[in-house]
Structure 1
Amino acid sequence: MKRLNSQLQEDGCPLELILLIRTLLAGCKEISFRVSQGELAGVLGSTLSDNVQGERQKKLDVISNQILKDILSESGYVKALSSEEEDTVVGCNPDGKYLVSIDPLDGSSNIDINSLIGTIFSIQHAPQWMEPDDPQAFLQPGTQMVAAGYVLYGPSTVLVLTTGRGTHGYTLDKTHGGFLLTRPNIRVPEQTQEFAINASNQRHWEKPMQDYIADLLAGKDGPRGKDFNMRWIAAMVGDIHRILSRGGLFTYPFDYREPNKPGKLRLLYEANPMAFLMEQAGGEASTGTQRIMEILPTEIHQRVPVIMGSKEEVAMCLEYHNREAN
Structure 2
Amino acid sequence: MVDKSKLGQPVGTTLDRFIKNKQDEFSFATGELSQILRDIGLAGKIINREISRAGLVDLGGSVGEQNIQGENQQKLDVIANIRFKRALRNGGEVCAIVSEEDDGIIDLNNPHGRYIVAIDPLDGSSNIDVNVSIGTIFSVYRRLSPVGGPALREDVLQKGDDQVAAGYLLYGSSTMLVYSTGHGVNGFTYDPSLGEFFLSHPNMKTPTTGSIYSINEGPSQLFDDGVRQYIQHCKEQQLTARYIGSLVGDFHRNMLKGGIYIYPATPKAPNGKLRLLYECNALAYIIEQAGGKATNGKGTRILDLLPNELHQRTPFFIGSSEMMEMAESFNLATADTSPVV
Fold equivalence (TM over 0.5):
yes
Give 1:204 shift. Answer: 1.3
Deviations 1:97-150 (A, max 9, x none): 110011000001201101110111110101233853533321100011011111
Aligned counterpart, 1:282: 291
Deviations 1:48-106 (A, max 9, x none): 11000001100100111011111212221001000000000101111101100110000
Instruction: Say if 2:252 is the partner of 1:241.
Output: yes
Question: The residue matched to 2:53 in structure 1 has which SS?
Answer: helix
Instruction: Say if 2:151 is the partner of 1:140.
Output: no
Give 1:5 shift. Answer: 2.7
| Aligned partner letter, 1:248 | G
Counterpart mapping for 1:11-26 below 5 A: 11=22, 12-13=25-26, 14=29, 15-26=31-42
Deviations 1:146-182 (A, max 9, x none): 1111111111111111111101111011122111111
Give 1:7 shift. Answer: 2.7
Consecutive aligned runs of 4 or more in structure 1 exceeding 4 Å deviation: none
Instruction: Say if 2:268 is the partner of 1:268.
Output: no
TM-score normalised by structure 1 residue count: 0.94
Q: For the residues of structure 2 that align with 1:133 and 1:59, how far apart are their CA atoms?
A: 29
Question: Residue 196 of structure 1 contacts residue 250 of structure 1 at CA under 8 Å; is this kept in 2?
Answer: yes
Q: For the residues of structure 2 that align with 1:268 and 1:169, how far apart are their CA atoms?
A: 22
Residue 204 of structure 1 is aligned with which of 222, 240, 258? 222
Which range is displaced more, 96-105 or 206-215?
A: 206-215
- Runs (5+) with no aligned partner, structure 1: 220-225
| Aligned partner letter, 1:305 | P
Counterpart mapping for 1:303-322 below 5 A: 303-322=313-332
Q: For the residues of structure 2 that align with 1:238 and 1:132, how far apart are their CA atoms?
A: 35
Q: For the residues of structure 2 that align with 1:273 and 1:306, how far apart are their CA atoms?
A: 12
Q: For the residues of structure 2 that align with 1:41 and 1:163, how far apart are their CA atoms?
A: 37
Instruction: Say if 2:310 is the partner of 1:294.
Output: no
Give 1:3 shift. Answer: 1.8
Q: For the residues of structure 2 that align with 1:171 and 1:138, how far apart are their CA atoms?
A: 30
- Runs (5+) with no aligned partner, structure 2: 1-11, 337-341
Residue 104 of structure 2 is aligned with which of 76, 88, 93? 88
Residue 183 of structure 2 is aligned with which of 165, 168, 180? 165
Instruction: Say if 2:121 is the partner of 1:104.
Output: yes
Question: Residue 90 of structure 1 contacts residue 133 of structure 1 at CA under 8 Å; is this kept in 2?
Answer: no
Give 1:215 shift. Answer: 1.8
| Aligned partner letter, 1:99 | I
Aligned counterpart, 1:60: 76
Aligned counterpart, 1:49: 65
Aligned counterpart, 1:156: 174
| Aligned partner letter, 1:318 | E
Give 1:2 shift. Answer: 1.7
Residue 50 of structure 2 is aligned with which of 31, 34, 37? 34
Instruction: Say if 2:232 is the partner of 1:214.
Output: yes
Query: How many residue pairs are counted as aligned between the two chains?
Result: 317
Instruction: Say if 2:91 is the partner of 1:75.
Output: yes
Give 1:198 shift. Answer: 0.4
Q: Cα distance 1:99–1:238, how it changes in 2: closer, same or farther (>3 A)?
A: same
Question: Residue 286 of structure 1 contacts residue 308 of structure 1 at CA under 8 Å; is this kept in 2?
Answer: yes
Residue 7 of structure 1 is aligned with which of 18, 37, 57? 18
| Aligned partner letter, 1:25 | G
TM-score normalised by structure 2 residue count: 0.90
Q: For the residues of structure 1 that align with 2:135 and 2:242, how far apart are their CA atoms?
A: 18
Residue 176 of structure 1 is aligned with which of 179, 194, 205? 194
Q: For the residues of structure 2 that align with 1:165 and 1:183, how far apart are their CA atoms?
A: 14
Q: For the residues of structure 1 that align with 2:190 and 2:303, how far apart are their CA atoms?
A: 29
Give 1:320 shift. Answer: 1.0
Question: Residue 48 of structure 1 contacts residue 57 of structure 1 at CA under 8 Å; is this kept in 2?
Answer: yes
| Aligned partner letter, 2:36 | L
Instruction: Say if 2:197 is the partner of 1:186.
Output: no
Question: The residue matched to 1:38 in structure 2 has which SS?
Answer: coil
| Aligned partner letter, 1:296 | L
Question: The residue matched to 2:219 in structure 1 has which SS?
Answer: helix
Question: Residue 192 of structure 1 contacts residue 248 of structure 1 at CA under 8 Å; is this kept in 2?
Answer: yes
Residue 132 of structure 2 is aligned with which of 100, 115, 136? 115
Instruction: Work out the percentage of aligned pairs sharing the same amino acid.
Output: 40
Q: For the residues of structure 1 that align with 2:143 and 2:198, how far apart are their CA atoms?
A: 29
Aligned counterpart, 1:222: none
Q: For the residues of structure 1 that align with 2:150 and 2:60, how far apart are their CA atoms?
A: 33
Give 1:18 shift. Answer: 0.6
